[in-house]
């Protein structure tokens, strides 16, 4: 594992010029942060689930209607704090994630959304995550009445034995019926999440999963390899490091089997892990470069700063009840860090225009990153036509593996610490 650490250190220094990246327990001054920003993205975190899955890295606790009601009031207070600074700037991307947002369908989610739409200038569609067990016809009508137009649900596997390993509380038949109900409701996009490279999973099962997904009538599939985060129950029982060493070639073959099924059905790759029916707007998290994260563990990125709310739901509520911002950690971002972050997300999306980089940073893309792009083009990992850079399937996989060197470790440290300590002093990434 020393090689992983060595590579991480080399890449970090080359791309960000930073010896150490550390988030500090410091509440940033938000006054003036929105000046010069012409559009804002919103992320809302719902940190409740009806069960805790053994592999899940996200911030969540078991649902209780009483806590959800108090959480609703706290989020509304947080929205009010931001509404003064955001004013009438358009909200052009809005994502509700979790946890499981559908736990709060009848305990405050409607109030939060009404309030956001009343005090902020929401000009975009709403994208939301859901759990298959929450997708009754009645609940789907409630979801639509709240203004959600793009829905995602975590099916995760299409073999009962794998659902059992993952401790998912439904059968394949029930999950398919839930998806069919959602598809029948006419959302602009229905996305299904699936995980692969599961313990004992075979290529044949992957092939069957890919074909079955395409028969379900969904608009998008997000297929993630199972990552083992050290602080999860599943990570704690594994060797803790196999997020990267776990048979990356087997994983690659599984992804190419899925890709073949999706491409055969006419789907297009829209990010490293997502495949979308052509002509359908892609289901995705916040897309605007600058965004505000609401709720426990909500993260915000405002050009030269990134900050994170406390993960602890009780502390989040307490802070807002006492009129304090619930921010636990923040990181000032140098221009090099901002540019590296920009490149990270463009690689994730698998294609980008160089002119977008110029518009964002006022610098020529090739003068900063040309030296890295040229050898990657020679390897066949990407094509560079001078204006646009587009990753090949091969490049998408291997470049993302490289990104994982950072993201799994960084997420593990940041989220792992934040789930243990409500207000950490410092987190070194
Ligand atoms: C917040 S959950 C989806 C909504 C809902 N809570 C549910 O479980 O159905 C987000 C998605 O992340 C993916 N995910 C969660 N843990 C993962 C892990 N350890 N490795 C890879 N993907 C993971 C799953 O596909 C999951 O559907
Ligand atoms: S996978 Fe979904 S339901 Fe399971 S714990 Fe994570 S957020 Fe909750």
Q: What is the pLDDT of residues 206-239, one digit of tens each?
A: 999 999 999 999 999 999 999 888 888 887 765 4
| Mean pLDDT, the chain, whole residue set | 91
What percentage of the chain carries pLDDT values higher than 70? 93
Assess whether pLDDT exceeds 90 at residue 262: yes
Q: What is the pLDDT of residues 45-73, one digit of tens each?
A: 999 999 999 999 999 999 999 999 999 99
Write the DSSP assignment of 373-404 as a string of letters. Answer: HHHHHHTTSEEE-SSEEEE-HHHHHHHHHHHH
For residue 1, how far is its CA from the centre of ligand 1 (angstroms)?
A: 26
Model confidence at 33, pLDDT cuts 50, 70, 90, reads: confident
What 253-256 contacts at long range (C-beta under 8 Å, 24+ apart), as own/partner pairs, is: 253/203, 254/196, 254/197, 254/201, 254/203, 254/206, 254/225, 255/196, 255/223, 255/225, 255/397, 256/393
Protein residue closest via CA to atom 4 of ligand 2: 53
Q: What is the pLDDT of residues 297-308, one digit of tens each?
A: 999 999 889 999
Which of 50, 57, 97, 98 best tests ligand 2's pocket when mutated (most atoms within 8 Å of CB)?
A: 98
Q: Spell out which residues line ligand 1, taking CB within 6 angstroms.
A: 49, 55-58, 98, 100, 129, 131, 153-154, 156, 193, 195, 224, 226-227, 229
Tokens of 50: 């009806």
The Cα–Cα gap between 256 and 249 comes to 10
Residue 33 phi, psi (nearest 5): -65, -25
Average pLDDT for 24-39: 85
Assess whether pLDDT exceeds 90 at residue 36: no
Partners of 48 in the beta sheet?
61
Task: Return the SS3 of 192.
Answer: strand
pLDDT in the model for residue 111: 98
Model confidence at 286, pLDDT cuts 50, 70, 90, reads: confident
CA-wise closest residue to 308 among 387, 397, 422: 422
pLDDT in the model for residue 7: 63
For residue 45, how far is its CA from the centre of ligand 2 (angstroms)?
A: 13
pLDDT in the model for residue 63: 98
Partners of 291 in the beta sheet?
41, 301
> Using an 8 Å Cβ cutoff, are 270 and 276 in contact?
yes
Q: Is 98 in the pocket of ligand 2 (CB under 6 A)?
A: yes
For residue 49, how far is its CA from the centre of ligand 2 (angstroms)?
A: 6
Assess whether pLDDT exceeds 50 at residue 204: yes
Residue 290 phi, psi (nearest 5): -115, 130
pLDDT in the model for residue 12: 65
Average pLDDT for 284-295: 86
Task: Return the SS3 of 169.
Answer: coil
> Using an 8 Å Cβ cutoff, are 4 and 240 in contact?
no
For residue 56, how far is its CA from the centre of ligand 1 (angstroms)?
A: 6
Protein residue closest via CA to atom 6 of ligand 2: 56
**pTM assigned to the model:** 0.93
């Amino acid at each position: 594992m020393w090689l992983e650490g060595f590579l991480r250190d080399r890449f970090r220094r080359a791309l960000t010029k930073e010896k150490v990246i550390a988030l500090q327990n410091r509440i940033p001054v938000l006054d003036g942060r929105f000046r010069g920003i012409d559009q804002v993205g919103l992320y809302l975190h719902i940190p409740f689930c009806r069960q805790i899955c053994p592999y899940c890295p996200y911030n969540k606790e078991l649902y209780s209607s009483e806590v959800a009601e108090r959480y609703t009031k706290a989020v509304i207070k947080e929205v009010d704090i931001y509404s003064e600074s955001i004013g009438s700037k358009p909200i052009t991307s809005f994502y509700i994630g979790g946890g499981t947002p559908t736990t709060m369908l009848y305990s405050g989610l409607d109030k939060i959304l009404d309030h956001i739409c009343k005090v902020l200038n929401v000009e975009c569609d709403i994208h939301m995550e859901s759990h298959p067990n929450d997708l009754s016809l009645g609940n789907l009508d409630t979801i639509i009445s709240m203004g959600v137009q793009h829905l995602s649900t975590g099916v995760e596997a299409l073999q009962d034995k794998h659902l059992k390993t993952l401790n998912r509380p439904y059968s394949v038949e029930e999950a398919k019926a839930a998806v069919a109900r959602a598809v029948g409701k006419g959302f602009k996009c229905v996305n299904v999440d699936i995980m692969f490279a599961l313990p004992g999973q075979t290529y044949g099962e992957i092939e069957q999963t890919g074909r079955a997904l395409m028969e379900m009538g969904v608009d998008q599939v997000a297929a993630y390899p199972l990552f083992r985060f050290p602080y999860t129950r599943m990570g704690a029982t594994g060797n803790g490091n196999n997020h990267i060493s776990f048979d990356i070639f087997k994983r690659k073959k599984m992804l190419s089997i899925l890709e073949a099924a999706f491409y055969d059905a006419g789907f297009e790759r829209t990010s490293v892990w997502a495949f979308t029916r052509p002509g359908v707007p892609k289901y995705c998290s916040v897309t605007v470069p600058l965004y505000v994260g609401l709720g426990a563990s909500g993260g915000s990125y405002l050009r030269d700063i990134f900050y994170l709310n406390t993960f602890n739901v009780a502390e989040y509520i307490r802070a807002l009840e006492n009129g304090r911002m619930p921010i636990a950690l923040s990181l000032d971002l140098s221009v090099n860090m901002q540019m590296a972050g920009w490149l990270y997300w463009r690689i994730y999306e698998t294609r980008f225009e160089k002119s977008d980089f110029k518009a964002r940073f006022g610098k020529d893309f090739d003068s900063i990153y040309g030296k890295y792009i040229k050898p990657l083009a020679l390897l066949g990992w990407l094509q560079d036509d001078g204006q646009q850079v587009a990753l090949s399937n091969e490049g998408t996989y291997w470049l993302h593996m490289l990104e994982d060197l950072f993201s799994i470790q960084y997420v593990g440290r940041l989220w792992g610490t934040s789930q243990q300590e409500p207000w950490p002093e410092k987190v070194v990434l």
